[in-house]
Structure 1
Amino acid sequence: MLHFSANDQPNLPFRKAIKKPIPINCVQIEETFEVETLEGTLRGKAGDYLMVGVNGELYPCSKEIFEKTYDWVEEE
């Protein structure tokens, strides 16, 4: 079994990829929260986002990750 350390990038032939622009629903929660996910119960901090995935699943996303990886979609 291969094992990779969190902060040690292996010497592999990595390629660049970009996430598909799939709109999702989300809401910023202003207090700590818990959500039942496919991986078990996860917690969100105040200011984190509650996301609805492409299959309808709920999961938390930290505010910092959200701001780095998502842009708002203008609704028509």
Structure 2
Amino acid sequence: MLHKYRKIVPIEAEQFNGSKEQVKRYPIIVLGTLQDGCVYTGCPCVLKTKEGGMNLKKGDYIATGVDGEHWAIDQDIFERTYERVN
């Protein structure tokens, strides 16, 4: 029988803006060039995860799980499925 499930553990997330600071903070591989302190908007980036590399673009969210693992979430999907908690 099919059941519905809801996540019970909050995650931390940050919107990727392409800054050099974010590239240093997360396991991101930049496949293009850096310009003016930011990753070039058309530049493909890869976020290293436990399961392998995930494509990452400006506007996507970088989520951090309970074990410190990271993954990328498309901006549209993130905004439809997560809400901010304080």
| TM-score strictly above 0.5 | yes
Q: Give the structure-2-normalised TM-score.
A: 0.61
Rg (Cα) greater in structure: 1
From the superposition, tell whether residues 27 and 33 of structure 1 become closer, same or farther in structure 2 (CA, over 3 Å). farther
Structure 2 gaps, min length 5: 19-43
Count of aligned positions: 61
1:46 aligns with 2:58: yes
Let me know the Cα RMSD of the aligned residues.
1.5
Q: Give the structure-1-normalised TM-score.
A: 0.68
Cα distance in 1 for residues equivalent to 2:78 and 2:68: 18
Structure having the larger proportion of residues in helix: 2
1:14 aligns with 2:5: no
Identity, % of aligned pairs? 36
Structure 1 gaps, min length 5: 1-12
Q: Quick one: which amino acid aligns to residue 15 of structure 1?
A: H
Structure having the larger proportion of residues in strand: 2
SS at match of 1:56: coil
Cα distance in 2 for residues equivalent to 1:37 and 1:26: 15
